[in-house]
Amino acid sequence: MWKGRFSQDTNEIASRFTQSLDLDWRTVRDDIRGSVAHARMLGRVGLITPDEAAEIESGLIGIARDAESGEFIPKESLEDVHMNVEALLTERTGDAGAKLHTGRSRNDQSNTSVRLALRREILRIWDLMKPMLEVLTNNAGRHSGTAVPGYTHLQQAQIVTMGHFWMAHFQAFFRDARRLASAYESVNLSPLGCGAIAGSTLPIDREFTMRDLGFAGLCENSMDAVASRDHIADFHYFAAMFGVHASRLSEDLIVYFSSEFGWLKLPDAFCTGSSMMPQKKNPDVLEIIRGKSGQFIGGLVDVLTMLKGTPMSFNRDFQEDKRALWRTCDTLAGVLEVITPILREVEVDGRSAAKGFADGFIYATDVAEHLAERGVPFRKSHEITGRIIRWCVENDRTLTSLTDEEWKKLAPQAGDEIASLLSPENSVARRNTAGGTSPAQVRSQIESARKRLESLDAEFAEYKSRFPSMPE
């Protein structure tokens, strides 16, 4: 394509090193769809004849069919998907095909193809993410009153409902879903027609191709359009945060599933055994999810590192933007496909959970706040409660075993009803502040979550409705 300027053919080693077919052949359908829009625009503005535009579009549709069937086998010597498509088109249509590249560069062409492909990937990921979010709200509804120990520093802190636990993870993943929608908006701008760096002297119509490809707007500066990979970084940031949250959820389930905790049960179908120890039931799937989170973080670091040293505007470094991108898309899909059925089948053993706080020390904050309600300054009530816990430890007693006489001696400021407050049901029911763990608050969270989920799904439905189809 550049033989007019050069006196030597490209070295074969250099050709192999610089080829990008392993990265961009995945976008062949998107490259063709972008070229269809470009050909239509060229015909509309008179840069090619209507017959040439029709011939090019027909030829491109045929190439798309051949690519889908596997009959179109790309040549590494042609370097990338774009040149392979153009070469085959020219071979089939002659001079008409050779006119297709009028008014564009591979810089804006490849950026357009990746944006089209990434939009489709984001929609695929949303379709996998939505069921996971729905399962979390369903689990919260089933366990809205199931009391389990809550932890800070991985030490028992206060009793919470398992419904509250599920909704805590829902909130994190829903923020990720919002980031996914924001990433779509970032991707959903058209760079086509920006050319190599400065636009074109030809009377091209960028708004026409923008509409034909279903983009929401134009990249407004041609230099920035071909230099920016913010949209890819935005997607990687979503993936990195999702990976962190998926890893944290996996860690929680792994810990609570262990024999030492033992109040959460994982489905056999998503666990494995040991080649040596017959008793083992290992949470391997969750461990692999936890392990894959590093790949998502690595993808973000990869693209940011690639970008940070590049001068304005386009640089060939950007060819590598797809290496981590496609891996991240596929790994995300794999994680979402497996985590949803695991969550759907997780069981919670409330009785086993209650054994974990049989000493009653988990009610310490309940005692301190009861004293505060009765006028004791909280710092003083905190100190009194701490002394009570120490007395129980030293005398091998549980907090819930204290008699009325012992309560009066240890905490004379307490009311007669204090012993009745120290139960799982009362502890969670009394935490009825907004966002709290009470069953009523959990149900309120679920209702709000389902409304927000419905609204976000409508946003994605709108994105899907504008996604361009391939002409028949």
In a domain, 185, yes or no: yes
pLDDT band at 2 (very low <50, low <70, confident <90, very high): very low
In a domain, 337, yes or no: yes
Start-to-end Cα distance in the chain? 30
DSSP state of 197: T
Name the token pair of 309: 């040293």
Q: 115 and 235: one domain?
A: yes
Rounded-to-integer distance, Cα 113 and Cα 119, Å: 10
Per the annotation, the verdict on 274 as an active-site residue is: yes
In a domain, 152, yes or no: no
- Find the Cα–Cα–Cα–Cα dihedral 272, 274, 278, 280, rounded to 10°: -60
**What local confidence, expressed as pLDDT, does residue 466 receive?**
95
Q: 170 and 87: one domain?
A: no
* CATH number assigned to the domain comprising residue 91: 1.10.275.10
pLDDT band at 454 (very low <50, low <70, confident <90, very high): very high
pLDDT digits 0-9 by tens, 6-20:
656 776 777 777 778
In a domain, 151, yes or no: no
* CATH number assigned to the domain comprising residue 381: 1.10.40.30
Task: Find the range with the poorest average confidence among 5-19, 45-59, 331-345.
Answer: 5-19
pLDDT digits 0-9 by tens, 91-116:
999 999 999 999 999 999 999 999 99
Q: 90 and 111: one domain?
A: no
Q: 191 and 299: one domain?
A: yes
DSSP state of 160: E
Give the contacts of 152 (CB within 8 A, at least 6 positions apart): none
Rounded-to-integer distance, Cα 40 and Cα 193, Å: 13
Q: 386 and 323: one domain?
A: no
Q: 286 and 185: one domain?
A: yes
- Give the largest CA-CA distance in the chain: 101
Rounded-to-integer distance, Cα 20 and Cα 338, Å: 31
Paired residues of 155 in beta bridges: 152
Whether 335 and 292 have beta carbons less than 8 Å apart is answered as: yes
Domain count, the chain: 3
In a domain, 302, yes or no: yes
Task: Tell me the three state secondary structure of residue 6.
Answer: coil
Whether 414 and 116 have beta carbons less than 8 Å apart is answered as: no
Distance of CA 153 to the CA centre of its chain: 27
Domain of 75 in residue numbering reads as: 12-102
Give the contacts of 277 (CB within 8 A, at least 6 positions apart): none
**What local confidence, expressed as pLDDT, does residue 305 receive?**
96
Determine how β-strand 147-152 pairs with β-strand 155-161: antiparallel
Q: Which among 258, 274, 401, 448 is annotated as catalytic?
A: 274
Q: 113 and 237: one domain?
A: yes
CA dist list (Å): 16 to 10, 21, 108, 301, 326: 10, 10, 23, 26, 21
Q: Which among 153, 420, 455, 465 is annotated as catalytic?
A: 153
Q: 227 and 365: one domain?
A: no
Q: 263 and 289: one domain?
A: yes
pTM: 0.94
Q: 287 and 416: one domain?
A: no
**What local confidence, expressed as pLDDT, does residue 217 receive?**
98
Whether 388 and 367 have beta carbons less than 8 Å apart is answered as: yes
Q: 256 and 380: one domain?
A: no
pLDDT band at 3 (very low <50, low <70, confident <90, very high): low
Per the annotation, the verdict on 231 as an active-site residue is: no
Whether 177 and 126 have beta carbons less than 8 Å apart is answered as: yes
Task: Tell me the three state secondary structure of residue 47.
Answer: coil
